[in-house]
């Protein structure tokens, strides 16, 4: 709750490695009780913020994250939006990029910071990266200039870097630096100082928050590989209720030109299924005008996903099908930047 003039941050604790401590008796790692947070990180007190919390019960490994949990997080933010200056979501790192992408679409007109963080080592371990990630995330969520939040968007803070949530991918399972944003520069770099890069950060629009938590999960992904069989592609496209298929293509959006492959995609597009072309390369953009293989895809109605990550593409499709009725509008929005998730110029 907003306590007078003190900056208030709501910490939403969903689970993941960060929330683990060693049980004093058994030595086994177990999720920490949020009431003990000041015991775990005594320097939090020095920040002089009011820190509220909402805990998932039970807390989850983020491999079990799903759109219902995304809706819970969005709902908690909506209910507490006026009472808090910013939000920190403690989350397992495995699916953090998906959750950050989903929240960016669900939280329309977001004008306050929503910072996701976690850690590679549990908070209860001596060498943990969680303590710094957590404290700095709170500082970032609390940062204001002229009474306006410095980062009014969904971002991931991990190991010295603040990255736009829907541009981020987890790329390393062991390094403290586990995330990167190959196609968009960092929002802030953290060392002795937190150096914000205002030119990279979304501007507040001062409109009222609108939460769109309906997500349609009738989508799928096909990662191409040399030798992929007709049966595999056909089986996926015949999935009951399928509304959109992300194809992870080669390089700048290229795919085989074999007749059976193109025919299957063409028939799917004709039947109303959206096919979104996303590159298997982490950096760079889909350009379906560059090679004949790309042009052929464009001609049969495949949509170029530009430089979107697969994580953001999934979240965007779920969000669009959950909130729009017209396939024409969905097609149009897929090539527009709704929350800074793609580069359009
Ligand atoms: N499996 C854990 C999770 O994603 C890993 C982590 O937190 O980093 O919940």
For the chain, give the mean pLDDT.
94
Quick one: pLDDT at residue 4? 61
For residue 60, give the ligand 1 atom closest to its CA: 9
Q: Is the CB of 62 under 6 A from ligand 1?
A: yes
Contact assessment for residue 161 and residue 177, using Cβ atoms and an 8 Å cutoff: yes
Quick one: pLDDT at residue 136? 97
For residue 61, give the ligand 1 atom closest to its CA: 9
Nearest in space to 303 (alpha carbons), one of 330, 283, 340: 330
Q: Does the domain formed by 219-334 have CATH 3.40.50.40?
A: yes
Q: Check whether 3 has a pLDDT greater than 70.
A: no
For residue 62, give the ligand 1 atom closest to its CA: 9
Q: 141-195 pLDDT, tens per residue?
A: 999 999 999 999 999 999 999 999 999 999 999 999 999 999 999 999 999 999 9
Q: Check whether 202 has a pLDDT greater than 60.
A: yes
pLDDT tier for residue 259 given thresholds of 50, 70 and 90 = very high
Q: Check whether 104 has a pLDDT greater than 60.
A: yes
Distance 42 CA to ligand 1 centre (A): 24
Count Cβ atoms within 10 A of the Cβ of residue 299 and give its class: 0-12 exposed, 13-18 middle, 19 or more buried. exposed
Distance 18 CA to ligand 1 centre (A): 8
Quick one: pLDDT at residue 191? 95
Distance 141 CA to ligand 1 centre (A): 22
Q: 28-47 pLDDT, tens per residue?
A: 777 777 777 777 888 888 88
Q: 268-284 pLDDT, tens per residue?
A: 999 999 999 999 999 99
Quick one: pLDDT at residue 294? 85
274 or 289, which is more confident: 274
pLDDT tier for residue 124 given thresholds of 50, 70 and 90 = confident
Q: Is 249 a catalytic residue?
A: no
Taking the model in full, what pTM does it have? 0.95
Q: Which of 14, 20, 62 to mutate to test the pocket of ligand 1 (most atoms within 8 A of CB)?
A: 62
Contact assessment for residue 230 and residue 262, using Cβ atoms and an 8 Å cutoff: no
Q: Check whether 21 has a pLDDT greater than 80.
A: no
Quick one: pLDDT at residue 335? 96
For residue 16, give the ligand 1 atom closest to its CA: 9
Domain definitions of the chain by residue range: 8-211, 219-334
Q: Is the CB of 183 under 6 A from ligand 1?
A: no
For residue 94, give the ligand 1 atom closest to its CA: 4
Distance 93 CA to ligand 1 centre (A): 5
Task: Over range 289-310, report the average pLDDT.
Answer: 92
Q: Is the CB of 117 under 6 A from ligand 1?
A: no
Distance 64 CA to ligand 1 centre (A): 10
Q: Check whether 22 has a pLDDT greater than 80.
A: no
Q: Is the CB of 17 under 6 A from ligand 1?
A: yes
Quick one: pLDDT at residue 43? 85
Contact assessment for residue 54 and residue 84, using Cβ atoms and an 8 Å cutoff: no
Task: Over range 110-117, report the average pLDDT.
Answer: 98
Q: Is the CB of 19 under 6 A from ligand 1?
A: no
Q: Is the CB of 152 under 6 A from ligand 1?
A: no
Q: Is the CB of 159 under 6 A from ligand 1?
A: no
For atom 7 of ligand 1, which residue has the closest CA? 92
Q: Is the CB of 122 under 6 A from ligand 1?
A: no
- Classified by CATH at the fold level, domain 8-211 comes out as Rossmann fold (3.40.50)
Distance 62 CA to ligand 1 centre (A): 6
Own/partner pairs, 200-208, CB within 8 angstroms, 24+ separation = 200/164, 201/150, 201/151, 201/152, 201/153, 202/152, 202/153, 202/339, 202/340, 203/152, 204/111, 204/148, 204/149, 204/152, 205/109, 205/111, 206/111, 207/109, 207/111, 208/109
Task: Over range 40-65, report the average pLDDT.
Answer: 90
For atom 8 of ligand 1, which residue has the closest CA? 93
Quick one: pLDDT at residue 291? 85
Q: Check whether 123 has a pLDDT greater than 90.
A: no
């Amino acid at each position: 709750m907003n306590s007078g003039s003190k900056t208030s941050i709501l910490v939403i604790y969903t689970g993941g490695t960060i929330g683990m401590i060693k049980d004093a008796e058994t030595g086994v790692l177990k999720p920490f009780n949020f009431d003990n947070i000041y015991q775990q990180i005594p320097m939090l007190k020095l920040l002089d913020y009011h820190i509220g919390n909402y805990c998932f019960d039970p807390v989850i490994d983020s491999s079990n994250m799903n759109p219902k949990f995304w809706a819970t997080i969005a709902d908690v933010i909506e209910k507490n939006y006026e009472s808090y200056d910013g939000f920190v979501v403690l989350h397992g790192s495995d699916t953090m990029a998906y959750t950050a992408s989903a929240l960016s679409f669900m939280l329309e007109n977001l004008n306050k910071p929503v910072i996701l963080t976690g850690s590679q080592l549990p908070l209860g371990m001596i060498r943990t990266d969680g303590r710094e990630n957590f404290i700095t995330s709170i500082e970032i969520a609390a940062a204001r200039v002229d009474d306006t939040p410095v980062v009014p968007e969904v971002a991931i803070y991990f190991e010295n870097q603040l990255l736009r949530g829907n541009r981020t991918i987890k790329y390393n399972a062991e390094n403290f630096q586990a995330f990167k944003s190959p196609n968009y520069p960092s929002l802030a770099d953290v060392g002795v100082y937190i150096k914000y890069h205002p030119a990279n950060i979304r501007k507040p629009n001062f409109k009222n928050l609108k939460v769109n938590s309906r997500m349609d999960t009738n989508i799928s992904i096909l990662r191409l590989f040399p030798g992929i069989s007709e049966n595999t592609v056909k089986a996926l496209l015949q999935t009951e209720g399928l509304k959109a298929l992300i194809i992870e293509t080669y390089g700048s959006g290229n795919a085989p030109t074999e007749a059976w492959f193109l025919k299957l995609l063409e028939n799917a597009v004709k039947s109303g299924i959206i096919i979104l072309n996303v590159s298997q390369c982490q950096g760079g953009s889909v350009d379906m005008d560059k090679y004949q293989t790309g042009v052929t895809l464009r001609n049969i109605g495949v949509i170029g996903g530009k430089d979107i990550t697969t994580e953001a593409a999934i979240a965007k499709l779920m969000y669009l099908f959950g909130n729009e009725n017209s396939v024409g509008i969905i097609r149009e929005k897929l090539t527009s930047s709704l929350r800074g998730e793609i580069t359009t110029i």
